[in-house]
Amino acid sequence: TWTMVNIVDEQIERIRSEVGAKRVICALSGGVDSAVAGALVQRAVGDQLTCVFVDHGLLRKGEAEQVEKDFVASTGAALKVVDAQERFLSALAGVTDPEEKRKIIGREFIRVFEQAAREVVAEGGEADEDVEFLVQGTLYPDVVESGGGTGTANIKSHHNVGGLPDDLQFSLVEPLRELFKDEVRRVGEELGLPAEMVWRQPFPGPGLGIRIIGEVTRDRLDVLREADAIAREELSRAGLDRDIWQCPVVLLADVRSVGVQGDGRTYGHPVVLRPVSSEDAMTADWSRVPYDVLATISNRITNEVREINRVTLDITSKPPGTIEWE
Ligand code: XMP
């Protein structure tokens, strides 16, 4: 639309004048915001931009591939991929406290990203001590929720890419700072990003790590990833992507219940479906997903994911519940 073209043009101009001839780094999280921010900056300054993707192993099914193939194909951006799965798993071993998980994931992310950024800067060669720029996919609600002058309480330690060490001397480029999520998506479409990427549900920085209640292990991640993929597939198939803000699937990894399958007793784990509708994630209501769709999701998950024998539905609004369980 006309407005989106305006926003895109205006941001491209702004980014160009801000960045000049200097180099820019963008951390892609796999999510919508960083992808759109990266695509905008790529459009503005081309190969002055290098994107860095830290694969922490806490992503949804197919997400890493989407960044590595579809994002690169549709934007032409230079991408550096760091496989840090082992590192994150060892850092998270034995940890069950939600805030501790968030801190560990945030800290490890910064360490890995910092290392990658140094490599990018070094590979860039000649530029003499130029200040480098860092792209952040900060949205308007993030600015507000993280207390951008409004004095809101910090409920969870939100992790985007922040708090980088001083000696890296990045200035921030935040081209989405004035936008809401739906505007970001339309900008993404305008820039030619794949619809799957643009219309994907919001996903927290700490990823599946905060959707496993209990310790995060590789096996549990695999189980949750399968269940989550089924829920997303069925919600999309039912045409609900644009009605539902997001539907976290939460694995209650330390809870077991007795079930029966075939002729056998099972003793498996429950998952919780958490479909919510929202404008900006500050408040949310639980979504009235049609029973048939819920039934299909439940049947498929319990049939296709051996470790899960029960599917439950979270019917709490925000407040008092938050969207994520941790
Ligand atoms: P809550 O659980 O606080 O979540 O109701 C509100 C929205 O924020 C997402 N979320 C995060 N996003 N880093 C992010 O970038 C985070 O650490 C984080 N924690 C929650 C959540 O998915 C929901 O959309």
- How many CB atoms are located within 10 Å of the residue 123 CB? 9
Q: Which residues fall in the annotated binding site?
A: 29-35
Indicate which atom in ligand 1 lies nearest the CA of residue 29.
Answer: 15
**Which of 28, 109, 156, 249 has most ligand 1 atoms within 8 Å of CB, for mutation?**
156
Taking CB atoms and a 6 Å cutoff, what residues make up the pocket around ligand 1?
156, 158-160, 202, 204-206, 246, 281, 318, 322-324
Indicate which atom in ligand 1 lies nearest the CA of residue 203.
Answer: 22
ipTM of the complex: 0.99
Q: Give SS3 for 323.
A: coil
Indicate which atom in ligand 1 lies nearest the CA of residue 102.
Answer: 17
In the chain, what are the helix, strand and coil shares in percent, each to the nearest 5? 45, 20, 35
Overall fold of domain 2-198: Rossmann fold (3.40.50)
The whole-angstrom separation of Cα 35 and Cα 29 is 8
CATH number of 211-313: 3.30.300.10
pLDDT, one tens digit per residue, over 249-268 is 999 999 999 999 988 999 99
CA of 131 to the centre of ligand 1 (A): 31
**DSSP string across 292-320:** HHHHHHHHHHHHH-TTEEEEEE----BTT
Average pLDDT in the 116-132 region?
74
Which residues does 153 contact at the CB level (< 8 Å), separation at least 6? Answer: 147
The whole-angstrom separation of Cα 99 and Cα 157 is 7
**Which of 278, 283, 285, 323 has most ligand 1 atoms within 8 Å of CB, for mutation?**
323
What's the whole-model pTM score?
0.90
Taking all residues of the chain, what is their mean pLDDT, rounded to a whole number? Answer: 91
Closest by CA to 269, choosing from 255, 280, 259, 279, is 255
Average pLDDT in the 273-299 region?
96
- Ordered by start, the domain boundaries in the chain are 2-198, 211-313
**Which of 146, 228, 286, 324 has most ligand 1 atoms within 8 Å of CB, for mutation?**
324
pLDDT, one tens digit per residue, over 79-88 is 999 999 999 9
Q: Give SS3 for 198.
A: helix
Residue type, 112: V
Q: Ligand 1, atom 7: nearest CA belongs to which residue?
A: 281
CA of 83 to the centre of ligand 1 (A): 23
pLDDT, one tens digit per residue, over 172-231 is 999 999 999 999 999 999 999 999 899 989 999 999 999 999 999 999 999 999 999 999
Distances (CA, A) of 26 to 186, 192, 295: 20, 18, 41
Percentage of the chain modeled with pLDDT above 90: 79
Distances (CA, A) of 319 to 187, 276, 285, 315: 30, 12, 9, 12
Distances (CA, A) of 182 to 25, 69, 111, 199, 281: 25, 24, 32, 9, 12
- Is the Cα dihedral 15, 16, 17, 20 positive or negative? positive
Judged against a pLDDT cut of 60, whether residue 271 lies above it is answered with: yes
